Structure formats: C-alpha cells, structure tokens
Structure 1
C-alpha cells in the first residue's frame, strides 16, 4: 500500500471528495480537475490495510440486497 494510499478517496457527491491529508499531489490534481477536496488526516489507519474509502460503509444503496460473497463459508 504505502505511498499509494492517497489514491483511495471517498466520493461524497459528483463534485466533492475526501482524501488523505498527506496526499497533497493527488488533492492538487483533483482540485485542478474541478473537485472540491476535503483533506482528512487518516494516515495512521493505513497500516491496517486500506484508505478512507474502504473504511466507510454505504449509507444508502438503491436496488436489491445482494450477497457479494455467496460461496464463503462460516461467518466471514
């Protein structure tokens, strides 16, 4: 993961994203593309495996409830 954690942004709406605060190059690029970028200090979570987007849950999802892992065994 390392330096690539800045690629994992959380999209709030079509024009707004949250990104890891230390990913300044990525945030500047998104800003130049017209996005409103909200920096979030999240680097201390990176050793656990993912970035900001992966640490969030869907608040609302349209469509039918679907099991994305139908072949799993056990609880996980």
Structure 2
C-alpha cells in the first residue's frame, strides 16, 4: 500500500456491534510506535448523525402501530 493513499473507511468493532458509547477510535491517538497510527472510526455516531438502533426502531414501530390503531376505525 502506498503511504500517500487514503485509509479505507474503518468502523471500530465496538461500533459494528452497536456499542457506540464505548468506541475509543473516534479521536486521533498516539500508538506509541513511530510511523504507526490508529485508524479513526468513520461511524456516523461520531459525527452527530442519528443512528437507527434496535431500541429506536422498536419505539418507532410501537408508535406507528398505536397511530394506526387510532386511525383504522375511521377508514371504513
């Protein structure tokens, strides 16, 4: 790999598993080894983008079903 090439997009294992608050790869840090650096996590959770977690999707689905239950009797 050419040192001038950009790094491929990297997502930390913690973000891949949904453990976003525990990700340590969002900020640059020193590896302690000359010429070796840590990759930065490119997960949207570090950039202020909303994430669709299972809890959020479950909440959204429950709200949608409740809304549909209220509206359905008036559709006939």
Shorter-chain TM-score: which interval?
under 0.3
Question: With CA pairs under 8 Å and 6+ residues apart, which has the higher RCO, 1 or 2?
Answer: 1
> Which one has a larger percent helix, Structure 1 or Structure 2?
2
Larger Rg: 2
| TM-score normalized by the length of structure 2 | 0.22
| TM-score normalized by the length of structure 1 | 0.22
> Which one has a larger percent strand, Structure 1 or Structure 2?
1
